[in-house]
Structure 1
Amino acid sequence: IVKSFIRLGQKVSPGTPVFEINSPSFFDAGKAYYQAKQEMELALKSLNRERDLFANNVGVAKDVEEAEVTYELRKKDYENALAAVKVYQVDPDNMILGQPLVIRSPIAGEVVKDNMVIGQYIKEDAGALAVVADLDRIRVTAHVKEKDIDLIREVSDVEIHLIALPDMPVKGTIDYVSGLLDEATRSVEVIIECDNREHRMKPFMYGTVRFINTPTRAIIIPNSAVLQREDNHYVLVSEGKNRFRKAIVKVASAGENQTLVLSGIHEGDSIITEGAFYFIDAR
């Protein structure tokens, strides 16, 4: 690294210089470009000369054909060398062989990390020395349990409650719901996009996401009333005279100690809400 153009907190635009380095790879690419360009120009001059000789009945068609083939090969070499130089985001027409390579910001944003040291040697596998981030828009990743996935389709609002700012919920909108289920956690990733122009949210913060549905009438029962058997849930519904039946229910989370029943029982049904696990093996 030979020069730095930034400082922490600086606002940058696409193309803003970040730092300069002396790069052997960039030097070799520039050298190959100038060599290929020179050889292509010489091949073009040779081709024009052979065409002129042939037009004046001095040359032969074979020499013209050979010159055309040579020119096409040199032209292809030049195009490849030009593409290699453009990888470094430089203007070949204004490039000077041996000049430092200027690394530029690809996006608009703010410099949030600067670990550069003038004179530092950078290896190919080195991590990021500077990080530019657009913090005006933040994406939050929420992990939604398998049994709650269907409820995401009916969500009307999203609130993020950060551990650092518990009394300042942040509004967001669902941007993407993953098509894959995490086998280890039995959850799905939901990406939520938030307006962060006040920069209250910081990358890697933790919090709780609240998905808010349109209000509707529903059956909510205590978690203790729900029993699990293999791949389904059930509750014990009273049929009178100390007799109960197992009713398979479809459930979702409704709070810390409550469960929302989506189907399987009806309003007015009497169920066991405490100690239901004592009846797991009952028939």
Structure 2
Amino acid sequence: MVVKNILNLRFVAPKTKSALKSVLFLSTLFLLGACADKPETAAPENYSVKNNIITLTENSTIKSRLVIASPTEELVNIDLVVNGFVKAIPSQYAQIAPPFAGRITQSYIKLGQKVNVGTPIFSLSSSDYYAAQQDYLANVQELKNAEINLKRQQDLFDNAVGVKRELEEAQTDYSIKKLAVDNATASLRVYNVNPATMKMGEALVITSPIAGTVISNDLILGQYIKEDSEPLVTVAELNKVWVAAQVKEKDLAILNDLDEVELTSEAYSNLPFTGKVVNIGQVVNEETRSVEILIEVDNTKNSLKPGMYVSVKLKDTGKQTLVVPAKAVFQQNDSQFVYVQVGPDQFKKQNVTTFSTEDANKTAILEGLNATDKIITDGGIYLLQAK
């Protein structure tokens, strides 16, 4: 052996430091060579995988590290706190913009004023509106002429002195003229204009489409407004508002058994609000893996303002729920799983729906496990490489 040969070498003290370094270097090489001659011991196989079943080998070194137990059943109150923001209910919110290009001639409202449906907001002097008036009146006159001609042709035909072809032409002309009047009428009614009471040349009066409060007013008398200008007035009914909040995909199950929704705001830290979930989004945001929920909140005191941030506490009724140690649950992509025992020294991954509890060391299992299941409650980390 190399080691024996080294021991049989007669030691001669080196005369210089450099000679001493050389001797030490050569000795190190001999020792490394001796160690390299020793055979390595292969690590034992701990498990095998077949059909997604993990089977521990007889001599597996991780057997003793696994703790196996059943889930416990406990009374759990699941509280979820998420952030949300206040928004007006769309059907109770209106941004009012001029339908035509023109000049503002009069304002009828002020900021904070209560308005009803049809309340005048402002007047607009517009050449486009005048053209729409002229078009309507011209169509009305043409319809009258077509009606007179139709009656005349009908009388002639009834008295056997008219021509059927001329009667049919009069009927077609009347139908076309009536359709033109209907279209012109519809165009005016879009702007809440009653053609029957309309006066030629008068300014267009823009009215409120909803009842509520004027929460923004950017009207300037004499200002010329383009047809595609931004809304000038906003009216909103804020006695009730929505709070939009994002709930993680894995936490959606709590929404099925909600007892109440409590909201707090930094502006009113001592004044909690309550509400109810009125809509759960149908689409999961792929980036945040969350779903938007809408909570309707009574706001008769107008304390909550659109755009305000609030804290949303979703609380369900306490119920008996399966609970496992938090370290028994693992994350894989967008799902969570535990290792369930399916036979002696055999395990498989089981997807579960979980929820955090007040105890950070425990996790509630909402779906995926039965009380009689045996799972790895500790040591499952040693099986994460099993494919």
TM-score range, shorter chain: 0.7 to 0.9
Q: Say yes or no: does 1:71 pair with 2:174.
A: yes
Aligned to 2:282: 179
Aligned length: 276
Structure 1 gaps of 5+ residues are 238-242
Q: How does 1:145-160 map to 2 (within 5 A)?
A: 145-160=248-263
Aligned to 2:196: 93
The one-letter amino acid of 2:111's match is L
2:299 pairs with one of 196, 199, 202: 196
Q: Quick one: distance in 1 between partners of 2:178 and 2:309? A: 56
Q: Quick one: distance in 2 between partners of 1:236 and 1:168? A: 45
**Cα separation, partners in 2 of 1:259 and 1:161, compared to 1, 3 Å:** farther
Q: Quick one: distance in 1 between partners of 2:359 and 2:225? A: 50
Q: How does 1:1-16 map to 2 (within 5 A)?
A: 1-16=104-119
Aligned to 1:251: 354
**Cα separation, partners in 2 of 1:143 and 1:61, compared to 1, 3 Å:** same
Aligned to 1:261: 365
Secondary structure in structure 2 of the residue aligned to 1:48: helix
Q: How does 1:1-80 map to 2 (within 5 A)?
A: 1-56=104-159, 58-80=161-183
- Equivalent residues of 2:325, 2:377 under 8 A apart: no
Q: Say yes or no: does 1:83 pair with 2:186.
A: yes
Structure 2 gaps of 5+ residues are 1-103
Moved more, 71-80 or 129-138: 71-80
Q: Quick one: distance in 1 between partners of 2:380 and 2:319? A: 30
Q: Quick one: distance in 2 between partners of 1:162 and 1:223? A: 32
How many angstroms does 1:39 deviate by? Answer: 0.7
Greater relative contact order: 1 or 2 (C-alpha under 8 angstroms, separation 6 or more)?
2
Aligned to 1:240: none
Q: Quick one: distance in 2 between partners of 1:62 and 1:226? A: 86
Question: How does the TM-score come out when normalised to structure 1?
Answer: 0.84
How many angstroms does 1:256 deviate by? Answer: 9.4
Q: Quick one: distance in 1 between partners of 2:291 and 2:184? A: 46
Aligned to 2:218: 115
Aligned to 1:143: 246
**Cα separation, partners in 2 of 1:227 and 1:197, compared to 1, 3 Å:** same
Structure with the greater alpha carbon radius of gyration = 2
Secondary structure in structure 2 of the residue aligned to 1:42: helix
Q: Quick one: distance in 2 between partners of 1:209 and 1:58? A: 83
Q: Deviations over 1:13-38 (max 9, x none)?
A: 11111111123332221111000000
How many angstroms does 1:220 deviate by? Answer: 5.6
The one-letter amino acid of 1:74's match is K
Moved more, 139-148 or 16-25: 16-25
Q: How does 1:266-277 map to 2 (within 5 A)?
A: 271-272=377-378
**RMSD over equivalenced CA pairs, Å:** 3.1
Q: Say yes or no: does 1:214 pair with 2:317.
A: yes
How many angstroms does 1:124 deviate by? Answer: 2.7
Percent of aligned positions that are identical: 37
Question: How does the TM-score come out when normalised to structure 2?
Answer: 0.63
- Equivalent residues of 1:247, 1:265 under 8 A apart: no
- Equivalent residues of 2:261, 2:313 under 8 A apart: yes
- Equivalent residues of 1:148, 1:253 under 8 A apart: no
